[in-house]
């Protein structure tokens, strides 16, 4: 904050009441948010939720039908894509197939008519940053997916954009490479300090990399927060079910003081904090798989119950149990960590399970 006007410059991207319609389909419905300078911001949601449209309105490929898009404190109304201080990494990278790696990366600078010497130097630096110096003369078709991804990143970053836009750039990579690229993207973002606006439908990706996540659903933003806030305190039933694995259990409300509610699940009665105001007698409790304890560990939990193990699924680092709660017509899924020595519960046996009241969240059935 060493420069004048710092207060209005702290957000690099700002949406104010933006809507976008395609024909009669409301793709983006009155969304507002602001992305702090230098942060990693993710738009997370299922396909068709409006996240890509939001990104394309930032890049200038789509125009909002209502509302204001500001980038670096300036209204982007009537500013075409090529004049915006943003650059994009495309879903399938969109490398120019007839140009070499170096020509692809140099393109943005050549278009700006930078001096030749500067272009050569900066292309060299860029390729070094993504570790592709020895591939400068290759054509895109001679590269692997991960390498193409890095070229696309270098090409977009060489123009030193205020905001880097990434449209599911890791979607076409295999799982191992995706994990590796996630860490690398985060490293590069930290090094250069550019604001990243990242679109993904992969909650793991968003949780790993983001400083802030906006969860989108049906054109609206359901919740904006840090990964931990969104994971631990989902604001809506959609956020709870979309991020992480959770049991959504229908319950009856017995008492309700606006902050916590006493609910009954069959014979079991317990208290749960409320995420949103709930009216009516019926509601849904969200209970994450890994927040339920099973066996001996259940004794330390505030809310305890008995359940019959219906199925045991071994998945390496964890064991999944599907249990039927006694005294209620409800199945719960439980994820218990596996450290290599634990011996799983046996199918058909009756076990103790338990959870703490803050592990749950209550949503209305509306």
Partner 1 sequence: MADMAELTATRDEARVRPLAEPWRRRMIPWLLLLPAFAVMLYSFVLPMLVFLQYSVFSFERGRLIEDFTFKTYVKFLTDPFYHTIILDTVKMAAITTICSAAIGYPLAYALWRVNSPRLKRWLAVIIFSPILVSVVVRSYGWTVLLSDQGPVNWFLQSMMGFSEPVKLVFNLTGVVISLTHVFLPFVVFPIFSTMTRLDPTLREASMDLGAGWWTTFRRVTFPQTLPGLLAGMQICFTLALGAFVTPSLLGGGRVLVLPLQVFTATTDINWPLAAVGGMTLLVLAMITVVLSNRLLRYSEV
Asked whether position 98 contacts partner 1 by CB under 8 A, the answer is yes
The secondary structure element, H or E, covering residue 186 is helix 175-192
Asked whether position 96 contacts partner 1 by CB under 8 A, the answer is yes
Residues 141-170 that bind partner 1 (CB under 8 A): 141, 155-156, 159
Select from 42-50, 74-82, 252-260, 327-335 the region that touches partner 1 (CB under 8 A). 74-82
Q: What CA–CA distance (Å, rounded) separates 272 from 362? A: 7
Closest distance between partner 1 and the C-beta of residue 16, in Å?
A: 23
CA–CA distances in Å: residue 146 to residues 125, 167, 173 = 19, 15, 7
Residue 210 backbone phi and psi in degrees, to 5: -80, 150
Looking at beta carbons only, is 112 or 329 nearer to partner 1?
112
Closest distance between partner 1 and the C-beta of residue 112, in Å?
A: 6
Asked whether position 81 contacts partner 1 by CB under 8 A, the answer is yes
Asked whether position 59 contacts partner 1 by CB under 8 A, the answer is yes
Select from 1-9, 80-88, 205-213, 306-314 the region that touches partner 1 (CB under 8 A). 80-88
Asked whether position 139 contacts partner 1 by CB under 8 A, the answer is yes
Residues 103-132 that bind partner 1 (CB under 8 A): 107-108, 111-112
Asked whether position 231 contacts partner 1 by CB under 8 A, the answer is no
Strands 212-217 and 40-44: parallel
In three-state secondary structure terms, 53 is helix
**What's the start-to-end Cα distance of the chain, in Å?**
45
Specify which residues 309 forms β-bridges with. Answer: 323
CA–CA distances in Å: residue 64 to residues 135, 216, 238, 302, 326 = 40, 17, 25, 50, 53
Closest distance between partner 1 and the C-beta of residue 136, in Å?
A: 17
Asked whether position 137 contacts partner 1 by CB under 8 A, the answer is no
The token duo for 345 is 């519960």
With CB under 8 A as the contact rule, the residue among 16, 34, 61, 308 that binds partner 1 is 61
The secondary structure element, H or E, covering residue 139 is none
For partner 1, the binding residues (CB under 8 A) are: 59-61, 80-83, 86-88, 90-92, 94-98, 107-108, 111-112, 139, 141, 155-156, 159
């Amino acid at each position: 904050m060493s420069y004048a006007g710092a207060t209005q410059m702290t957000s690099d991207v700002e949406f104010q009441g933006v809507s976008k319609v395609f024909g009669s389909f409301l793709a983006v419905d009155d969304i507002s948010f602001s992305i702090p300078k230098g942060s990693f911001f993710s738009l997370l949601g299922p396909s068709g939720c409006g996240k890509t449209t939001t990104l394309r309105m930032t890049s200038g490929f789509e125009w909002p039908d209502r509302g204001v898009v500001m980038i670096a404190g300036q209204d982007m109304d009537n500013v075409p894509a090529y004049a915006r201080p943003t650059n994009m990494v495309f879903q399938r990278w969109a490398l120019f197939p007839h140009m070499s790696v170096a020509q692809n990366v140099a393109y943005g600078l050549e278009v700006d008519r930078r001096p030749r010497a500067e272009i050569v130097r900066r292309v060299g630096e860029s390729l070094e940053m993504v570790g592709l110096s020895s591939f400068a003369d290759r054509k895109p078709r001679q590269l692997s997916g991960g390498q193409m991804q890095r070229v696309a990143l270098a090409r977009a970053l060489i123009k030193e954009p205020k905001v880097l836009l990434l449209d599911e750039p890791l979607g076409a990579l295999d799982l191992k490479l995706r994990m590796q690229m996630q860490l690398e993207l985060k490293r590069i973002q930290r090094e250069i300090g550019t604001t990243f606006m990242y679109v993904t439908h992969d909650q793991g990706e968003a949780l790993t990399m983001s400083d802030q996540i906006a969860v989108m659903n049906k054109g609206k933003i359901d919740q904006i927060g840090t990964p931990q806030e969104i994971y631990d305190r989902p604001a809506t039933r959609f956020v709870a079910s979309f991020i992480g694995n959770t049991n959504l259990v229908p319950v009856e409300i017995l008492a309700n003081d606006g902050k916590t509610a006493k609910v009954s699940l069959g014979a079991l009665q317990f208290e749960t904090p409320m995420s949103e105001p709930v009216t009516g007698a019926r509601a849904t409790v969200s209970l994450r798989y890994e927040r339920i304890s099973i066996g001996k560990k259940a004794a330390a939990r505030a809310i305890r119950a008995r359940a019959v193990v219906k199925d045991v699924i071994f998945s390496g680092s964890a064991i999944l149990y599907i249990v039927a709660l006694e005294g209620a017509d409800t199945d719960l899924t439980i994820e218990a960590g596996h450290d290599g020595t634990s011996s799983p519960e046996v199918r058909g046996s009756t076990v103790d399970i338990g959870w703490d009241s803050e592990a749950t969240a209550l949503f209305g059935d509306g």
